[in-house]
Amino acid sequence: MHDLIVIWMEWVKAWEYLGVIILMAMESSIIPVPSEVVVPPAAILAAMPGSNMNFWGVVIAGTVGSYVGSVIMYYTALWAGRPFIYKFGKYFFMPKHKVEKAEEFMRTYATGGIFFSRFLPVIRHLISIPAGMARVNFLKFSISTITGSAIWCWVLAWFGDKVGRNNPALLDSPEELIAAIKAESHLIVLGVLLLIVLYAIMKYMTRPKNKPQDSADKAE
């Protein structure tokens, strides 16, 4: 894994925005590239004097890549169908139990689940599959994916810029960079989990209630 992380970070250094787009597309598809080794290093590089990149360019590139990868997975699941995904997904880093977990997450939180998933490990790169299998409205899928991805990329870029300015040598130590970013972003993940709980409570409290007459009809 260390060698792969080094290679991915070198792609960001060599290809700049294109490298960010490609790697984030991979991150949102069947290849679980950690977004922590893509956006933060790009933000660190963007902050260096003479860089061809800038902070907002990194955020946009990360968002575009996430959306492209998500759309590919959405249509793959839409066309292939549940039986194919369940049977062959394990050969492409998509074991049945993980897909089912993402599917349950989306069923529970509906379109909001697609948005929230962009902030959560594992669920993040799988959520497009159940969305495609369930034929979620593509416009709603796109809006939720783009919005969630943009916010997550901004968070990673902000932390990358913050951590990198204090210790630019982290670019030479992928493991330390990931550890530093994760340590800084745990509060964000906890905040998202709190929002999910509140969202679930709201959905429960505003759920449609059966009228007495409906119950009587069902009994008949």
Q: Is residue 211 over pLDDT 60?
A: no
pLDDT band at 216, cuts 50/70/90? very low
What's the pTM?
A: 0.77
Q: Which residue has the higher pLDDT, 138 or 176?
A: 138
Question: For residue 66, what pLDDT is reported?
Answer: 95
Tokens at residue 114, please? 């697609």
Determine the structural domain holding residue 120 and report its residue range: 2-219
User: Among residues 121, 131, 152, which one has the least CA distance to residue 33?
Assistant: 121
Q: Is residue 153 over pLDDT 50?
A: yes
Number of folded domains in the chain? 1
User: Helical H runs in the chain?
Assistant: 2-15, 17-27, 39-47, 55-80, 82-88, 96-117, 123-126, 128-133, 138-166, 174-205, 212-219
Neighbouring C-beta atoms of residue 74, cutoff 10 Å: 25
Q: Which of 14-18, 58-62, 120-124, 185-189 has the lowest mean pLDDT?
A: 185-189
pLDDT band at 219, cuts 50/70/90? very low
